[in-house]
Structure 1
Amino acid sequence: MGNYQYHYCPEGIESRYELLVFNGEREPFLPLTDHYHDCIGRIDKSSALSYLKCLLPFFRWLDVSSNYQGKRIQWNEPPEIIRTAVEDYLMNEMGCKVREKDTFRFVNRTSKSPNTVNRFLSALKSFYKSLIRLKQYNYSNPLIDSYAILDEYKSQTEGVRKDKPRMPSEAGTEDAKPHRRLTDSYFKLINEDWQPEIIDDPYLPSQVYQAGKKVNWSLRELVIARMLFETGARASEVIELTIGDYRSRKNFQEANAFNKGSHGKRVKFIRFSKDTVKLLMRYINKDRIQYDEFQRTFEELSNEAPIFLTELGTLFSYEAWYYHWSRAIEECEIKLNPHKTRHWFVTTRLREIYNTSKTEAEIKQRTNELIKYIKWKNADTIKVYEHYFDEEKHREAHDQMLENMADLEKEYIEQTKHNRKKKSTHTVLESIKTVELDPELQDFLDGLE
């Protein structure tokens, strides 16, 4: 039995599905197909595709290796059977440790676990939400702990008076309950704080551009790639830019863009180089015009017109673009999903801030400007990058100390060659003792003895 795979609808074929999933027998598998299409509109296409990719291996595993009372497990089994399958998959295929706790399970990643465990659990939870919504799964969601919801609701409604409900907040007789999000997942991943990746190769964009050249990227793919590295935007935010997004900014190096979770509303702007502007305008007026239905130039296009088109004159999609991206990445033999360009941008931008700022206050101000530009929902994300640069500063200072030590060693050797006497170490130490030190520093030095 082969792997589960997905294929896009061939051009020229009419279908209500833009993508079809096939099982190991090369037969259409509608549950995953329907889930993907149900996700579109609720989350962006790149996230829907990411969920699908996480689920394909699990569904193959169900067909080939799952076991419940001597039988293979089907995706539409009752919740307790699905949970057994998921627990086995987490332990045996993803290298996790699973521990029972009340009405749910704690999941711990190990050194053998991939970094996709959380995404897999989210994807499977989303799958069953979709199939329940589409009336194809006749039970409650196996990935949701219904008891946790009931307990939470009970704790939120019980008052301080025995067996009495809480008084309304307007009464002022009971302390307000702090707001917190319900954790309804049956499998709860613990000690799993998300960490951004630090990508610090200054030549990375050039490597990607050269690889794109080797696989015959068009000007369209090059412009998109340059925008990713230069703006820190997500791929979908760049690919779905409109002519109006570019026109709406006063500065010709900028464009308005939507953000993750803004549902298409333009809530931020992106900024790119003058060289990319030249390539963009060349693409619009020379390459794009060939595929535009009315062969319109930039000045003639409406604000609603998409910047990037397919060869058929239709809206260029993330999926169509990703095919070209993945070919280039394979060519340069590096592992680089598109989102890592965002991490590269932040790392590079912060390095420039740390290298050019003269005071800590300037670093803080410019870092806050970066946070506003990148539109992070959680400003604490920047702390991971700052920690990286704090370590870098220590390394630089330490390297300088080591270089000084090496220079002094060479100097000493040269002096001994010329029979020059050098003060003894004891003399140096004695002179240090005569210096009055800060009490806290003295305590620290005493602790080193």
Structure 2
Amino acid sequence: MPTTSSPTQQVKLPSQVRRVRGQAGDIYELIFLDQQDRIIVPLTEWYRLRKEQGPTSTRSTYLACLQSYFAFLSESECPWNASPERLRQALIAFHRDSLKCHVRPQRETESVEIVMTRETPLRESSLKVMRAALRDFYLVMREAGLYAFANPLSSGVLVALKRDQERTLANKGAPDQAGIREETHEQSRRRPTAFLRQHQPQGWKPEIRKELADVRQGIHAVLDVLLESPEVSLREKAVLQLLQSTGARLHEIAFMTIGGYQNKGVAGQAQVMNKGSYGREVKTIYFAHNPRVQEALNAYLEQMRPLHDPEGRRRLIDVAPNASLFLTERGTSYSPNVFYWHWYRHSIPLQALCPVRFSPHDLRHLFVTEYLMKLKLACGAGTQSFDAEKYLREREAFGKTIMAWRSIHTIDIYDQSREGEAIFSVLAGYQQDLAQRCSAVQSPQVRSASTPCGGAEAACLPNQDAPVVWMHDEETLNWIKSMDQQTGQPW
């Protein structure tokens, strides 16, 4: 498995944009300059405006994308605030010339399909981030009144079509649970409006190999060693416990705040920033029934965090609610990159405990997989009393409440992978049977080397009749005996 790199590294491209750090007290943290040392005002302004609209890591990732885009605009002499028609031509040229993508115009929908090539310097996921960054830039600038037109990353035709379709929906004002709306609100929201659309031959699916029992046992074995190791710090142990018990994303745990952890006095759960929540703590994670999670958190908060707190505060009540729960040794905010550094340092020596390499994000998939297994058993799987309707109902509630997925269909992907896991489990058992048969039957070379002829030359001849030993199951043996009876000689 390739080493996981940070999102910023994945989207980093050659850029001719320089950055200068602002003075203390300036409203601009960074000032961006072009080749002629002229200030790139829109990029500098976007970076300032984006500070309060989500995690710092998202802003940094988007910045890596936008620097390359502005370098391209400078070379092509296209102003950033041109009309959508002109900017769309620049966006097409940027993806074709800088990102080495194939461009397929979709004239009926006024959109463009982007297809990656071997020369594209980005991964598929990073190319999606690039489009998100471009859309975010014009969205922020338009909301601030700095861009006078509609977002060039949206197709006017598709936006109008979506608006008309939503207007004509039957019972469009009804909630989803009423069951009378023509389509769910999620389906309406997901109607495409993007000008740039990435070619996707198939959607994401969990890696079935990591669904198999031996891999799941290996992941737990690695986690057990890490959680018991004296070399792993209390902070990383607390993060690992939360990842394992809640199924949360790493950034949701790493960016947890004091106020989110305190959760207005409700123990055993915390508020975190969900994906796409723009820095708002809108998702609840639950860990009340695993006392080891709270023990790990208490150990970190009582023994380690006060040592790194800039003011040496030992009580959380004395810390601001928006302060980071986890701190670095320098007293700064914790981040996923810091966790990854410790993760690879401690997990790589334990690779032999698991058949495949896995990442912290795989703990999230493991959480969902094993929850569904337990839910099926609770609903009577394998018995005549299996309640399929209850399973589907509670499975959907799990995806909405625990995982906080926007789409109710995301959970279907994991159920499909469970069916694939069963297929591969049978295959694994069959291959193990083959290995046992091969090891049980001694090869002719080994037999001739280990059994001396003792001067009896005839006994060593290959055509001599000898008893045949069959290492097969009962069904195969019965078939062989029937063939013996038909032909009159052993097969």
What amino acid is aligned across from residue 135 of structure 2 in structure 1?
K
Q: CA deviation at 1:107?
A: 0.7
Give unpaired runs (5+ residues) of structure 2.
1-12, 174-180, 349-357, 444-464, 471-476, 486-491
Q: Go from structure 1 to structure 2 and tell me whether the alpha carbon gap of 1:194 and 1:20 turns closer, same or farther (over 3 Å shift).
A: farther
* Candidates 267, 271, 281, aligned match of 2:298: 281
- Once the two structures are TM-superposed, the CA of residue 196 in structure 1 deviates from its matched residue by 5.4
Q: How many residues align?
A: 396
- Deviation string 1:230-281 (CA, Å, 9 cap, x unpaired) is 4322344322232673473444xx4344534566355422328655544432
Aligned positions of 1:249-288 closer than 5 A? 249-251=266-268, 254-260=269-275, 264-271=280-287, 274=291, 277-288=294-305
Is it true that 1:184 corresponds to 2:201 in the alignment?
no
Q: CA deviation at 1:129?
A: 2.3
d(CA) in 1 for partners of 2:239 and 2:37?
A: 34
Q: Rate the CA distance shift 1:7–1:391 in 2: closer, same or farther, 3 A.
A: farther
Residue 60 (structure 1) aligns with: 71
Q: 2:108 aligns with which of 102, 107, 110?
A: 102
Task: For 1:402-417, list aligned pairs within 5 A.
Answer: 402-405=431-434, 407=436
Instruction: Please state how far the C-alpha of 1:139 moved relative to its aligned partner.
Output: 4.0
- Residues 51-60 or 300-309, more deviating: 300-309
Would the alpha carbon gap of residues 150 and 285 (structure 1) be closer, same or farther in structure 2, given more than 3 Å must change? closer
Alignment correspondent of 1:341: 360
Question: Does the CA-based 8 Å contact 1:108-1:190 persist in structure 2?
Answer: yes
- Aligned-partner Cα distance in 1 for 2:266–2:166: 48
Secondary structure at the residue paired with 1:102?
helix
Distance 1:8 1:225 in 2: 37
2:146 to 136, 141, 151: 136
Looking at structure 1, the residues matched to 252 and 316 of structure 2 have their Cα atoms a distance apart, in angstroms, of 23
Match of 2:338 in 1: 324
Change in CA separation of 1:191 and 1:299 when aligned onto 2, cut-off 3 Å: closer
Distance 1:417 1:21 in 2: 86
| In 1, Cα distance between equivalents of 2:159 and 2:83 | 20
Deviation per CA, 1:84-134: give whole Å up to 9, x if none. 221122234142332241361231434545313333223212212222333
Q: Distance between the aligned counterparts of 2:232 and 2:29, measured in 1? A: 24
Match of 1:240 in 2: 256
Give the structure 2 partner of residue 76 of structure 1. 81
Give the AA of the match of 1:136.
L
1:86 matched to 2:91? The reply is: yes
Q: 3-state DSSP class of the match of 2:62? A: helix
Report the CA distance between 1:397 and its aligned residue. Answer: 0.5
The verdict on how the C-alpha distance between 1:411 and 1:384 changes in structure 2, with shifts beyond 3 A counting, is same
- Name the Cα RMSD after superposition: 5.0
Q: How far did 1:380 drift? A: 1.8
Q: Name the aligned partner's letter for residue 381 of structure 1.
A: T
Q: Which residue of 2 aligns with 1:388?
A: 417
Q: Provide the residue aligned with 1:17 in structure 2.
A: 28
Amino acid at match of 2:15: N
1-side partners of 2:38 and 2:346: how far apart?
34
Aligned equivalents of 1:330, 1:132: Cα separation in 2: 42
Asked if the contact 1:6/1:19 (under 8 Å) is kept, the reply is: no
Asked whether 1:297 is paired with 2:314, we answer yes
Instruction: Give the secondary-structure state (helix, strand or coil) at the position aligned to 2:60.
Output: helix
For residues 149-175 of structure 1, give each alpha carbon's deviation from its aligned partner in whole angstroms, at most 9, with x where no partner exists: 4455567779xxxxxxxxx99xxxxxx
Equivalent AA in structure 1 for residue 305 of structure 2: R
| 2:428 maps to 1:399 | yes
1:34 Cα deviation from its structure 2 partner: 2.3
The superposition leaves residues 22-73 of structure 1 with CA deviations (integer Å, 9 ceiling, x where unpaired) of: 5466765332232234334444444333332332333333345x4xxxxx43
Is the partner of 2:194 in helix, strand or coil? coil
CA distance in 1, matches of 2:291, 2:432: 40
- For residues 311-360 of structure 1, what are the alpha-carbon distances to aligned partners after superposition, in whole Å with 9 as ceiling and x for unaligned? 676xx54xx524524545786899xxxx9634432235514754896553
Q: 1:256 to 1:87 in 2, by over 3 A?
A: closer
Q: Which residue of 1 aligns with 2:156?
A: 146
Aligned AA for 2:326?
F
**Aligned equivalents of 2:220 and 2:17: distance in 1?**
31
CA shift in 2, pair 1:330/1:109, >3 Å: farther
Q: Cα–Cα, structure 1 residues 221 and 347, in superposed 2: closer, same or farther, change >3 Å?
A: closer
Q: Please give the secondary structure, in 1, of the residue aligned with 2:26.
A: coil
1:8 and 1:206 mapped to 2: Cα distance? Answer: 43
Change (3 A) 1:410 1:322: closer
Counterpart position of 2:456: none
What SS does structure 2 have at the residue aligned with 1:379?
coil
Q: Residues 28, 390 of structure 1: CA spacing in aligned structure 2 closer, same or farther, 3 A cutoff?
A: farther
Give the match for residue 35 of structure 1. Answer: 46
Alpha-carbon spacing, 1:150–1:355, altered in 2? closer, same or farther (3 Å): closer
Identify the range of structure 1 (254-263 vs 77-86) with the bigger mean alpha-carbon deviation: 254-263
CA contact (8 A) 2:246 2:286 kept: yes
Deviations 1:266-315 (A, max 9, x none): 542232865554443233223332455764434754683743346676xx
Letter in 2 for 1:350: T
Instruction: Identify the residue that residue 427 of structure 1 maps to in structure 2.
Output: 482
Which sits farther off after the overlay, 145-154 or 90-99? 145-154
Q: Which residue, 320, 326, 336 being the options, matches 1:308?
A: 326
1:102-121 mapped onto 2 (5 Å cutoff):
102=108, 104-110=110-116, 112=118, 114-115=123-124, 116-121=126-131
Q: Is the 8 A contact 1:244 1:303 kept in 2?
A: no
Match of 1:3 in 2: 15
The residue type paired with residue 321 of structure 1 is: S
2:335 alignment partner AA:
W
TM-score (norm 2): 0.62
Per the alignment, residue 69 of structure 1 pairs with none
Structure 1: state its 5+ residue gaps: 67-71, 159-167, 170-175, 431-449
